[in-house]
A and B are shown apart, each in its own frame.
Chain A
Amino acid sequence: MRAGPDIRALVAGLAVLALGGVLLLDALGPIDLTFAVIAPVASAAAGAILVANGLSR
């Protein structure tokens, strides 16, 4: 049993989960994605993964 969660994997998983959630909302209808929305959302997700990787080293 691990002592605690792997922070890098946790942040990456949450970022992917958030991105998938936004895509699912678009597919199911509540929101209408455009490049103006998806570009910053995807950049934020990738940035969170990189920052978590850098800080937990």
Chain B
Amino acid sequence: MDVNDTQGNGPDQEPTVEGPQAPAGDQPTAQQPASGGPAPKRLTRTRGDRIVGGVCGGLGRYFNADPILFRIGAVALVFVGGAGLLLYLAALLLVPNEGESAPIAPGAQGGNRGWVIAGVVIALLFAFPFLLAGGFLFAGVGIPFAVLVGAGVLVWWLVSGEGPSGSAGEIARRAALGVAVVIGCFVLFFVAGFGAAAGPDWLVPALVVAAGGAIVAGAFLKPVRWLVPPAMTIALAAGVVAAADIDFDGGVGEREYRPGSSVDLREHYDLGIGKLVIDLRDTDLPKGDVPLDLDVGIGEARVIVPDDVCVATDAEVGAGNIAIFGRDHGGIDATYENAPTAKPAATRLVLNADVGMGEVRVHDSRGERYFDPRGFRPFHDEDPELSGDQPVACVTTG
């Protein structure tokens, strides 16, 4: 970057991009050539339009462009291994301040400038690989933060109708208020979701309708646009709860049941949030159909059956996975139905499982070792041992 690079301005070109010319008779300065012709266009760091060192402001003035473009570019380059940071530092050292002839770096003028520039370039080449990892690390934090700030500006624009204009401080203030709204809505999402899952089904939807009515009425009287983000947040939370069919009946926690006989085995098990395990391996089950209903709001419903029991399954998961004897059926609004016929005199477990968000798992003793949390591999469709086959007690696969 040649800081004193002239643009070869002719008489018909703009004479200068910097301050007023020195009065006639004054000694020529760095900004005014002794020849008396138009002053060369010089790259300097601005004093008035600066956020850090005035580099981007100077570039904007030099290229007659909005400095914000250079600022965005510099920030973007920071994420590329910190190159933007290094280039900015280099410009800070080599480009003089507005109205000054010498840059910050000692010796960066006259014949030494070439050496200084070469030194900076070499430093960049050496430092870049080390900064690359740091850049990616920084990107991992910086990009989500940038997205959050962008969301904040968007939210503030929606709420107040004020776009991102004005000084950097004003934009930052609006972005901060927008981020506060985003965070508030994030908290509200969970509160409303909990209320929708734990309270009466109609309560939260009725609140949303009331908020919508208030916003419509306000449109004719006094607009209450601030009510839109919380109303939409509550509606989204209620929508997720309704779509996943989440309810918190049965409480929260980890429940494991090992009934000794069919008398101890309930027909229906409920859990709000957590893990529900029904282990039937030691249960003395009668021949014929044995019904079992499981209802989990958020979490896992897991059934472990004896090897000689056939299982008929009707499972629904709002968002998550259904793993039946090692075969996965995952996604949104996932369902799985399979009603195989049991061998004569065998037990058939008729399972009806409903999980809002999470997983339904059914397996026998073949699969138990694969679920051991101490480090066995998970089920896999291609696993030759666990190909989704029903237990030997089934005659057909349904």
Contacts and interface: CB of A to CB of B under 8 A. Distances in A.
Looking at A2, A12, A14, A45, which has the most chain B CB atoms within 10 Å of its CB? A12
B235 A53 contact: no
B318 interface: yes
Interface residues of A, number: 37
Contact of B333 (A13, A35, A50, A53): A35
A16 B228 contact: yes
B212 A53 contact: no
A19 B242 contact: no
Contact of B235 (A2, A6, A19, A34): A19
Contacts of A17: 209, 212-213, 215-216
A8 B220 contact: no
A45 B232 contact: yes
Contacts of A27: 201-202, 205, 242
B124 interface: no
Contact of B243 (A6, A10, A35): A35
Interface of B: 157-158, 161, 201-202, 204-225, 228, 231-232, 235-236, 238-240, 242-244, 318-319, 332-333
Interface of A: 2, 5-10, 12-21, 23-24, 26-28, 33-39, 41-42, 45-46, 49-50, 53, 57
20 contacts: A2-B221, A2-B222, A6-B218, A9-B225, A12-B228, A13-B218, A16-B212, A17-B215, A17-B216, A19-B239, A20-B208, A20-B211, A26-B205, A27-B201, A34-B333, A35-B243, A35-B319, A38-B239, A38-B240, A57-B161
